[in-house]
Amino acid sequence: MLKQICRKKTSSVHSTMMDGIDGSKVHIAMRIKDLEEIWTIHQGFNLFLEYQFLSTMEEVLPAQIQPLYVAILRGDGSVDLVYFQIKDFDLFDSLHPTVEGQRIKPIKRNPILSEASKLVRFKALVFGNLLLTGPYGSNNLTGKDITSDKLASVSKLVLAWCKERGIVCKATLLKDFEEAVVKDIASFHRFQVQPNMVLEVPKKWNNFQDYLDDMKAKYRIRARRALTKASSITYRSLSVKEIIFHQEEMVQLYYQVVCNVNFNLFYLPADHFLKLKEGLGDRFQVIGCFEGDRLVGFYSLFLNYGEVYAYFLGYDAEVNHSSQLYLNMLYQMIDFAISKGASSVIFSRTAMEIKSSVGAEPLEMDLFVQLSNPFAHKLFPAAFQRFNPSPSWQARSPFRD
């Protein structure tokens, strides 16, 4: 089968088969359907690298992101599947949210810096998925056996392929490897941003009460107080029809959250959650939070085999304040994970302290960046420290020893 696939050499605007290093054959495509056969055979067991997920995600990516798919067919019969994204980075847009073409009033900013941000625009090649936190760039190139040489060589090959098609990437980002798994990569800067917050779910937790019973008294009282404040809120999994019915409200709730963030790398299209639900069925859950008949919030989850992965959400700011809705969402996610027999809940980045208070622990992730401009590349470490300072937060220990 592998030899048969290798002989199907193609060359077009969207995909190309070429010779790689070490006698391998490399197929690069902008549409995953061009690699459907080989991808489905070798995708492995990770939802975020499966054909169905990536083909669905391809339809709902933010407008500034273009996916690239790479299949490396090696002489020994092994196949590396690699997922890249090309991101049109626009600092002004990241600082000033837009809903359906209308610019929303952003957080107050220095007007001079705001105008200067219009000058920062470039394309970046990203190894992995910007919409997710974690090592979701390859079926083989993100485990314990990863080598920096493999990462660098694959990225260099893809950059050359892009350049031949007039796509000039000024930066290369290799994202989200568990700390110290990857050795230093020549000509790349290693750096870290916020950690991935992960809650391990012990097998002894058979229900949410078991989770509460494992808490120290202070945190158990806090949880019950929060649950009481949200006693008027009901939660239910939304069907495709219900997502369609509530889509406009969901967009507004989502933007209530993102518009209170200083920096957004992208903004989700209005039909993002609908298309994911249509494409992934029960493996993607959208949970509506209702006060009576009114939708006051929602959150979304992926079921990735033994993991529950927390995705994007939205909520009414006033209801969140009065009912501690966000904290209750976290409790609902934990309850859901226990009911599904999941081994962990991946809460991703941001809001580390509140996630820590429900039991999540930080998992530091390494990222690597290379800028094509030598001067900018040299200045990156200092600039990163200046514009992305580490947020101050206190880790919590809610469980009894």
Do 353 and 206 share a domain, yes or no? Answer: yes
Q: Which residues contact 395 (CB under 8 A, 6 or more apart)?
A: 352, 353, 356, 361, 362
pLDDT of residue 205: 97
Do 148 and 291 share a domain, yes or no? Answer: no
pLDDT of residue 5: 35
Question: Does 57 fall in a domain?
Answer: yes
Cβ-based neighbour number of residue 193 at 10 Å: 16
pLDDT of residue 13: 57
Q: What global pTM score does this model have?
A: 0.89
Burial pattern 107-120, b for ≥16 Cβ within 10 A else e, equals: eeeeeeeeeebeee
Share of the chain above pLDDT 70, in %: 85
Do 216 and 352 share a domain, yes or no? Answer: yes
Q: Which residues contact 340 (CB under 8 A, 6 or more apart)?
A: 303, 308
Tell me the pairing of strands 344-348 and 307-315: parallel
51-60, 282-291, 353-362, 378-387, range with the lowest pLDDT? 378-387
Q: Which range marks the domain in which residue 205 is found? A: 196-363
Report the greatest alpha carbon distance in the chain. 65
Mean per-residue pLDDT, 368-387: 87
Q: Which of residues 153, 186, 219 is at a domain's end?
A: 186
CB 314 within 8 A of CB 267: no
Q: For residue 209, give the CATH number of its domain.
A: 3.40.630.30
Do 160 and 17 share a domain, yes or no? Answer: yes
Mean per-residue pLDDT, 48-58: 97
Tens digits of residue pLDDT in 113-134? 566 556 667 899 999 999 999 9
Question: Does 162 fall in a domain?
Answer: yes
Q: Nearest Cα to 316, choosing from 273, 257, 234? A: 257
Residue 265 has pLDDT above 70, yes or no: yes
Counted domains in the chain: 2
pLDDT band of residue 338 (cuts 50, 70, 90) is: very high
Tell me the pairing of strands 307-315 and 294-304: antiparallel
